[in-house]
Amino acid sequence: MNIILLGPPGAGKGTQARILVEERGMVQLSTGDMLREARSSGTEMGKRVAEVMDRGELVTDEIVIGLIREKLETAEAPGGFIFDGFPRTLAQADALGALLEEEGQKLDAVIEMQVDDEALVQRITARSTCATCGEVYNDITKPIPADGKCAKCGGTEFARRADDNEESLRTRLFAYYKQTAPLIGYYYCKGLLRPVNAMGEIEEVATEIRGILDGLA
């Protein structure tokens, strides 16, 4: 089963993707994570995209489609793929459809994570991530355990993202409404859209997504 998690920055796409990976053995393909990896390893592409990402703008379609193509051609995913933060433009959506077809695969559902804009600022500015395993925390809704150790891996270093400030978030949100939100209509017309109320607690949202995926299986 291949699914897309679609939603604005801070909707909880990464958080839910990690739950699905653990529970269903699916493979998470996050273009945001891939781009951050490229920049921290100092590749030419990483250097080129760093400023764009920090401003909160979208990286070119060519770069992200290239990253996804490479993964789809090489990664083994018997449980299917979770596309997290991809596609983000209509061109990316068309490209994904073509790539999956080439691989003899299809898209099963697009989970649209609906959140009020006001909640996003609070979620993003309070976020931190375990530097060792990538587990996502939130100062308010999912605090780092009191002993200062990651609940998943015991790591003690936590990072905040360079684009997790109010100014970049405004640009990211604008990019979402201008370039990504049209995908809601695109996938509705394909009969794949499954809206989820992502304002609930993390476990409540996970339960709603489980229900949708179980209904498809």
Choose the catalytic residue: 172, 190, 194, 210: 172
**Does 53 interact with ligand AP5 (rule: CB under 6 A)?**
yes
Of the candidate residues 93, 150, 205, 213, the single one contacting ligand AP5 (CB under 6 A): 205
Compose the 73-92 pattern: x for residues touching ligand AP5 by CB under 6 A, - for all others: ------------xx-x---x
97 binds, among Zn ion, ligand AP5, none (CB under 5 to 8 A by kind): none
* CA-only gyration radius of the chain, Å: 17
DSSP-derived letter for residue 165 is S
| Beta carbons of 198 and 12 less than 8 angstroms apart | yes
Rounded Cα distance between 195 and 180, Å, is 15
Nearer Cβ to ligand AP5 (46/200): 200
Helix (H, G, I), strand (E, B) or coil at 28: strand
| Beta carbons of 160 and 131 less than 8 angstroms apart | no
172 binds, among Zn ion, ligand AP5, none (CB under 5 to 8 A by kind): ligand AP5
State how far Cα 211 lies from the chain centre. Answer: 20
The CA-based angle 12-18-21, given to 5 degrees, is: 140
**Does 123 interact with ligand AP5 (rule: CB under 6 A)?**
yes
* Size of residue set near Zn ion by CB under 5 A: 8
* Annotation: binding site for ATP: 10-15, 127, 136-137, 200
Which residues participate in catalysis according to the annotation?
13, 88, 127, 161, 172
